[in-house]
Amino acid sequence: MLKPLLLILVCLTLLGLSLRLFYNGWRQNGTERVLQRLNQGQPQLSSEAPRWARLERAFLRAGLGRPTDRLGVWLLLWAFGVLLGFVLGKWLGLLLFMVLPPLALRLYVSWRYQRRLRRMIEQLPSLLDHTVRSLKSGRTLADAVLGAIEASEDPLKNAMGRVQRNVQLGVSLADAVSDLAELYERDELRLFALGLRVNHRYGGNASELLENLIKMIRERDQASRQLRAMTGETRVTAWVLGVLPVSLAGYFLISNPKYLIAMWNDHSGQLMLATAFGLQVFGCLLLWRMLRSL
Backbone angles phi and psi of 218, in degrees to 5: -70, -35
Ordered alpha helix ranges (H), 47-186? 53-61, 71-136, 141-151, 156-168, 173-184
- Above 80 in pLDDT, residue 16? no
Say what the pLDDT of residue 44 is. 47
* Nearest-angstrom CA–CA distance, 92 and 96: 6
Maximum CA extent, the chain: 78
Q: pLDDT, tens digit, for every residue of 214-241? A: 898 888 888 888 887 887 788 888 888 8
Give the pLDDT band (50/70/90) at residue 294. low
The proportion of the chain whose per-residue pLDDT surpasses 70, expressed as a percent, equals: 78
Helix (H, G, I), strand (E, B) or coil at 62: coil
Share of the chain above pLDDT 90, in %: 0
State how far the Cα of 67 lies from the Cα of 92, in Å rounded to an integer: 29
AA identity, residue 72: G
Q: Extract long-range pairs of 133-137: CB within 8 Å, 24+ residues apart.
A: 135/206, 135/207, 135/210, 136/207
pLDDT tens figures, 71-125? 667 777 777 777 777 777 677 677 777 778 888 888 888 888 888 988 888 888 8
pLDDT of residue 231: 79
Mean pLDDT of 21-33: 61
Residue 116 contacts residue 183 (beta carbons within 8 Å): no
Buried b (16+ CB within 10 A) or exposed e, 189-205: bbbbbbbbbebeeeeee
For residue 109, the model assigns a pLDDT of 87
Q: Which amino acid is at 196?
A: L
pLDDT exceeds 70 at position 11: no
Whether 131 contacts 148, CB under 8 Å = yes
Residue 1 pLDDT exceeds 60: no
- pLDDT score recorded for residue 45: 41
Beta-carbon count within 10 A of 216 CB:
14
SS (H, E, C) 226-261: HHHHHCHHHHHHHHHHHHHHHHHHHHHHHHCHHHHH
Helix axes 232-255, 257-265, angle to 10 degrees: 80
The CA distance from 6 to 11, in Å, is 9
Q: pLDDT tens, 37-60?
A: 555 554 444 444 445 677 778 888
Residue 23 identity (one-letter amino acid): Y
